[in-house]
Amino acid sequence: MRLISDPDDAARALLGGHLAALPTETVYGLGARADLPHAIARVYAAKGRPADHPLIVHIRDVSELGAWASDVPGYAHDLARAHWPGPLTLVLSRTDRAGDFVTGGQDTVAVRVPAHPLMRTVLDRLAGFTGDPAIGIAAPSANRFGRVSPTTAAHVEVELGLLLGADDVILDGGPSAVGVESTIVDCTGDRPVILRPGHVSAADVTAATGLAVGSTSTVRAPGTLASHYAPAARVVLVEAEALLSAEPDDASTGVLALAEVPTPIGLVRLSEPTGVDDYARVLYSALREADALGLTRVLAVPPPPVGVGAAVIDRLERAASGG
């Protein structure tokens, strides 16, 4: 495994069927060419991911969507126009190009156009090397299955460094700007259904499509298990009032809450986000810091459920289920 800064090197690694941990605006992904089953198999093996869990295919531009998806409804095009490139994944009926090895055996494919400039450059370079403008990179989060997603290259090194091969690479693109995974929207029905909340909110989906968000879907999507995104420390969700009455726990308890919530004496402050967007950016780093400090418990006061706050609450609830 090599830590690199040149996106050309990452594209060359992918071209050769190797893995590349890549920065996106959401979290770092463990990428492989979406047309190479043996490379995709290595992604599943490195993550310890069940084979029936689908991957997200990252493509260069909305103009390439038809290579991967069929029967795209008008409201999906509306969402793509409004939020691509960006932290939104659309689930659509798949074409023959989307093999079972990326769809988890489903007849749907999850597709996203990422916004991070380095990730976009890697896609451009890979398209140039292969002569295939619709080439895709399948890239789930670059962490062991069920654990905390990485938002820096250093997180990836700690998480997967010993599991990657000598020809695999980690492309350092700095900290992730959003900090939580993309919103996943099922677009196979009459109306959009949010399978995983993210930075693009339900209100954003309705604003782009003019449709109320539906509530029922049979599609399997990444990151939707009851227990997920969990550190080794036990995560406990509390209200601010309950936090202030918490007993000191021999400095083995961490606190994660908005800056306006004070830290009880004797507890370890992990982060002081100033709002919901900042909370999303620091969430995974704070949970990783708890493990680095050897804490046994994290008391988390969720942010308001507005904007990306709904996604933060979702991740905290799933992390808490792990304990």
The superfamily CATH assigns to domain 2-209 is DHBP synthase (3.90.870.10)
How far is the C-alpha of 120 from the C-alpha of 287, rounded, in Å?
28
Q: Which of 196, 200, 180, 176 is nearest to 81 (CA)?
A: 200
Alpha-helical (H) ranges within the chain are 7-15, 37-47, 65-68, 74-83, 100-103, 117-130, 153-160, 202-209, 240-244, 276-292, 309-321
- Please give the Cα distance from 136 to 293 (Å, whole number): 38
Q: What are residue 56's DSSP bridge partners?
A: 110
Contacts of 179 (CB under 8 A, 6+ apart): 26, 27, 151, 280, 281, 282, 283, 284, 285
Q: Which amino acid is at 95?
A: T
Q: List the chain domain ranges.
A: 2-209, 234-321
Name the nearest CA neighbour of 44 among 27, 35, 32, 58: 32
Question: pTM of this prediction?
Answer: 0.96
Domain 2-209 and domain 234-321 have a common topology? no
Per-residue pLDDT of the chain (323 residues; tens, 9 = 90+): 999 999 999 999 999 999 999 999 999 999 999 999 999 999 999 999 998 999 999 999 999 999 999 999 999 999 999 999 999 999 999 999 999 999 999 999 999 999 999 999 999 999 999 999 999 999 999 999 989 999 999 999 999 999 999 999 999 999 999 999 999 999 999 999 999 999 999 999 999 999 999 999 999 988 887 778 899 999 999 999 888 877 666 679 999 999 999 999 889 999 999 999 999 999 999 999 999 999 999 999 999 999 999 999 999 999 999 65
234-321 belongs to CATH 3.40.50.11030: yes
